[in-house]
Structure 1
């Protein structure tokens, strides 16, 4: 998931399948520079729609922070909330050292589930967990008319997000660089069944994104 001390390619992974926007006339939201508008490490604010979902709690030395504004459109707001829950779930799986963690499975399908499992497996294989602060901001939501879904886009700053060896607790610190900045694009599919959960169907992560630099 991070560039820290890990021989994986999270910053460059593109899950198979194009994220096609067919008419972006839906509600868009841009967070601007709203600091602390939504901060969580499995808290109620960061996982509002997960009240009956899986455990998203994280260790005290890891914080996942969302500096995002809530869209006015209720569908977009729900899709954004569960996109954030997927990211929390991915971090939960890493810190739990469990490639089959039920948290990410609850919030994803298909390619997005395989992406999460592969990421967690890479951390576990190399005996790393996560620590520090993982920050997401500049969110935007767009309707995907062809599927009835919502495309959620967020910038990520992992400049204070580090790998920690699970055996020695040694933290791998690195110097700040453009590699800290990524853009996440998550294709959210509408709820089906009684759970009313928006699930990530596809995920695309682009690395070294200058537009995300703060």
Structure 2
């Protein structure tokens, strides 16, 4: 990340995992591709919305728009909500400059949790935070059973750039979208956690 350009693909890919990545100007949550074995994931008897949610912080100057992010089916609605919260979680951890922020463990598991912490740590070390507008649209949920599902959606980052939180200096973005992301999610303790995510082509 040198010069005046800041490459965001890794940050976007991570922060957008789960169907959820952030409403910078004041976050107000509105509340693969292989089928991995769910054997290590425990069933959740309680609905996703009932689980206690850790507080999230916003990144000033960043706005995430979730378009058509709704469903009538109860399971799909829960997957979409927690997918969205996973996205917002990534931005929250960047805002806190905390790779070990508790919300990562709440909404992520497995490799996705490791990757999220790595990306947040890199953002902290390089003094970069996303600013501008990012859009999440055209979500699709495929149920794999009571406690596992695929979530895919499009990411549009053409309005995204970056800044140094210490100095306020802005850097041009390097938009690559719109791109489709596919996420594998498992339900644990009432929360649909993002377990892995994979870019799956252009939208």
Shorter-chain TM-score range = 0.7 to 0.9
Corresponding residue SS for 1:59: coil
Q: How many Å separate the matches in 1 of 2:163 and 2:152?
A: 28
Determine whether 1:184 maps to 2:177: no
Unaligned runs of 5+ in 2: 15-21, 32-47
Determine whether 1:94 maps to 2:94: yes
Task: Give the TM-score normalised by the residue count of structure 2.
Answer: 0.74
**Range moving further from structure 2, 97-106 or 135-144:** 97-106
The 1:81/1:93 distance shift into structure 2, 3 A limit, reads same
Q: Deviations over 1:80-110 (max 9, x none)?
A: 1101100000011112211111112210111
Q: How many Å separate the matches in 2 of 1:128 and 1:50?
A: 34
The 1:99/1:122 distance shift into structure 2, 3 A limit, reads same
Name whichever structure is richer in helix by fraction.
2
Corresponding residue SS for 1:135: strand
Q: How far off is 1:72 after superposition? A: 1.8
Q: Which of 172, 175, 194 lines up with 1:200 in the alignment?
A: 194
Determine whether 1:135 maps to 2:135: yes
Question: Could you tell me whether the CA contact under 8 Å between 2:59 and 2:129 is conserved in 1?
Answer: no
Q: Which residue of 2 aligns with 1:20?
A: none
Corresponding residue SS for 2:194: strand
The 1:181/1:44 distance shift into structure 2, 3 A limit, reads closer
Corresponding residue SS for 1:72: coil
Q: Deviations over 1:6-40 (max 9, x none)?
A: 48745788xxxxxxxxxxxxxxxxxxxxxxxxx95
Unaligned runs of 5+ in 1: 14-38
Q: Deviations over 1:108-157 (max 9, x none)?
A: 11111011111111211211112111210010000124x84111101001
The 1:43/1:7 distance shift into structure 2, 3 A limit, reads closer
Q: Which residue of 2 aligns with 1:16?
A: none
Q: How many Å separate the matches in 1 of 2:63 and 2:73?
A: 28
Corresponding residue SS for 1:198: strand
Residue-pair matches, total: 174
